[in-house]
Structure 1
Amino acid sequence: MTGTEINKNLQRAIKASLKAGHVIMQVYDTAFDVEIKADKSPLTEADKRANDIINSFLEPTLIPIISEENKQIDFSVRKNWNTCWVVDPVDGTKEFIKRNGEFTVNIALVENGKPIIGVIYVPAFKTLYFGDVIQQKAYKVQLDSHEASIHTVLEKAEYLQPKTQPSQIIQVVGSRSHMSQDTLDYVDDIKEKGYDVEIVSKGSSLKFCLVAEGTADVYPRFAPTMEWDTAAGQAICQAVGVEVISKETNKPLLYNKENLLNPWFIVSK
């Protein structure tokens, strides 16, 4: 692909994700401390440093930012935003602490409640995913360095392609050891239709990427997530025709809601 095919905000989000990935890995390679936030979730120096870098890239756009690590702005103000960034500087902090590499940088641009561009960077593996819903295109790039230029990113980018047809074995994204009862019931429903099921396990927003790139069929999420956990993944999925459907409304997840907590959802073609 060429630089003319990628909009400026998507370029900015890609650059921000790579720079954030660089500082995250600097912390990853040290004996870092872990704080516990008021909501009992863990926080490391990597979250803080990555958030500062991402803010420095996105603030010049003058588009407001919803980030897990920013002070949350009251809905009385947010409800007037037509466009906003939705950011998780380190999605999968628990995976980061376990040092299994399955953590990501998530950056999405949302317009009228709908994600229109999404970037997911996996700094431990230097793997980048990005998508443009309006262009209906998403890509995966395997990089050699966090310092890669946009030119290099575009040169190496390969189209994402979800599965076109399910096989007899349905690959379901979930946890091998901590499947909720609702997820087990969902799997049983698939089996009752005559399919075999293989559980595919991954951390963070990589679960969306598995469906978008065709290495899994469906990702049922019947457990709490926040908007910053899902916006970038939803944009990448929707760019290749994969839907992220709320169990409450039977429509795609919406963003910049009064309550930033997502309903349960299913990701599938």
Structure 2
Amino acid sequence: MNKYLLIAIEAAVAAGAEIIEVYSKDFEVQLKDDDSPLTVADERANTIINSFLTGTTIPVISEENKQVDYAVRKGWTTCWMVDPLDGTKEFVKRNGEFTVNIALIEKGKPVLGVIYVPVTETLYYAEVKTEKAFKCKIPNHAFSEDLLNTSVSISPDWNLTSTLRVVASKSHQTPDTDVFIKELKQEGYEVELVSKGSSLKFCLMAEGAADMYPRFAPTMEWDTAAGHALCLAVGLEVLQVDNDKPLVYNKTELLNPYFIVQ
């Protein structure tokens, strides 16, 4: 296995264990400058992940790290892209639909990705060049490399019918999404909405539990990089709405344009 993928897996699972420790107790919720929530789980998970990744000597872009100016970042041909707790709103709601996201970026493209779902102890991982993605269980967040032998391969459902399973966000539904769904119906499709939080939406696409994921709401690069890698590995595309080009990473601004996974 790619050594960086293994490091990312170990980091994600360790962070997930810490997140569950916080999740099982009462915790305070702070608000960032953009009014998004922040908990001690975000901070502790970030510290753990950084402790694993710093040893690789590859720079880290994380939602909870101090952001490095693009004048420095533009010289990075390779970097880690991390969201230590994706779906903090879901975490606060205690609905279980939050994840740990770690991706490795090379020349603006995700080359490997790890998504760990702490509540269900489910690990998703992929290396894009192998064109395969996998999932497995990590009982009690006790990771050992042997557990990867229990992994099962995942793939999209390419047998599309007149009914499209369209992924919608639990916390970020928008009027633009409603218009998009209306247009699909006008084209003759039946639309079945599949609602999920965090990067689990990418997982649904990669494992064939959904057919399309339109995102007409703001996301940051760390929200999408790991899921993007997962989707690329199984033959799906993550395309910008305006120009049908793939999302790219380590841009001047880390805000993503609207996109569609298909």
TMscore range, shorter length: over 0.9
TM-score, scaled relative to structure 1: 0.95
Q: Which residue of 2 aligns with 1:126?
A: 121
1:3 corresponding residue in structure 2: none
Instruction: Give the distance between the partners of 2:180 and 2:7, measured in 1 at CA.
Output: 39
Q: Can you list the C-alpha shifts for 1:101-124, whole angstroms capped at 9, x where unaligned? A: 000000000000000000000001
2:184 corresponds in structure 1 to: 190
| Separation of aligned partners in 2, 1:178 and 1:51 | 24
Scaled by the length of structure 2, the TM-score of the pair is 0.98
Residue of structure 1 equivalent to 2:142:
147
Q: 1:54 to 1:76 in 2, by over 3 A?
A: same
Q: CA shift at 1:190, angstroms?
A: 1.4
Pick closer, same or farther for the CA change 1:177–1:117 going to 2, 3 Å. closer
2:100 corresponds in structure 1 to 105
CA contact (8 A) 1:224 1:263 kept: yes
In structure 1, runs of 5+ residues without a counterpart are: 1-5
- The equivalent residue for 1:202 is 196
Within a 5 Å distance, the mapping from 1:4-43 to structure 2 comes to 6-43=1-38
1:78 and 2:73 matched: yes
SS in 2 for 1:145: helix
Superposition deviation, residue 177 in structure 1: 8.5
4+ residue segments displaced more than 2 Å: 175-179
How many residue pairs get aligned? The number is 262
CA distance in 1: counterparts of 2:176 and 2:236, whole angstroms: 22
Cα separation, 2, equivalents of 1:177 and 1:227:
18
Q: Quick one: which amino acid aligns to residue 244 of structure 1?
A: V
Q: Distance in 2 between matches of 1:248 and 1:112?
A: 22
State the identity %: 58
1:237 aligns with 2:231: yes
Is 1:171 matched up with 2:165?
yes
Contact 1:176–1:199 (CA<8 Å) still a contact in 2?
Answer: no
- The one-letter amino acid of 1:140's match is K
1:129-156 deviations in Å (ceiling 9; x for gaps): 011111111001123220120211x211
Contact 2:171 2:197 in 1 (8 A): no
TM-aligned CA deviation for residue 176 of structure 1: 6.7
Cα distance in 1 for partners of 2:184, 2:28 equals: 43
Q: Measure, in 1, the Cα distance between the counterparts of 2:187 and 2:154.
A: 28
Look up the match of 1:137.
132
From 90, 95, 98, give the equivalent of 2:85.
90
SS of the equivalent of 1:228 reads helix
Does the 8 Å contact 1:245/1:265 carry over to 2?
yes
Q: Given the superposition, is the C-alpha separation of residues 233 and 185 from structure 1 closer, same or farther in structure 2, using an over 3 Å criterion? A: same
For 2:202, the aligned partner's letter is F
